[in-house]
Amino acid sequence: MDLTSTVLLVAAGLTAGAVNALAGGGSLITYPALLGTGLPPVSANVTNSLSVFPGYVAAAFGSRADLSGQRRRTLTLFPTAILGALGGTALLLFTPAAAFEAIVPFLVIMAALLLALQKRIRTLVGQPHDMSSRRRTVLLHVLTGVGSLYGGYFGAALGVMLVAGLALVLPDSLARVSAVKNALSAVVGLVTVLVYGLIAPVVWTAVLVLAPATVVGGFLGSKLARRLPQNVLRAFIVCYGLGVGVYLLFD
């Protein structure tokens, strides 16, 4: 790997790690960067899955303070996230990719709009504080399962999908919701690494360059999320999600 490719991957990893911590969708930065170094699509995809996973873990570690008081609830969502991610990997392995990829842009745009219209939607479905414990639990598992299914198949904008759904039912700030998202993203990422790492070639030299950069970016991004005002964080996630959706639509 030459110096230009190394610099490209380091820059992409730092940016993607921070973006994943704030909103998700960092794979739309790292995957094209890997292609830009000359890797074939399959190798780039699997290499990307292994490379961004440490960034997910770093983001989860960096935002652990915001899990205070909701760790037990988050842990109960892990089995659902694992099953959803396994379902997503099965979709990728055993069904035509074209059909699912065709709807991905619309799913991402829908997630961003869901977050943008959160207050209006809450007036229709009820405020999180007004939900019964049972209803909130059921909705949390459904939304986690759907988001993890999506992430197991197509990880880009996984964070946008999770935040948009979780913010509807969790009576917490976006920073605390993002902390749950980071933990769930790490779980989904682990599943995809274990599954895809066994079935396709991994370019380990690229992983060794990209992975540490995503760790640093993810940790710094998680700290930034705690300092940003709520309206700024929400606007960033919505705008980024819409941008990701439009990019996928015309890619």
**13-41 pLDDT per residue, tens:** 998 888 877 766 788 788 888 988 998 87
Distance CA 67, CA 42 (A): 36
- pLDDT single digits (tens) 76-130: 999 999 999 999 988 888 887 777 778 878 887 887 887 787 677 666 655 666 6
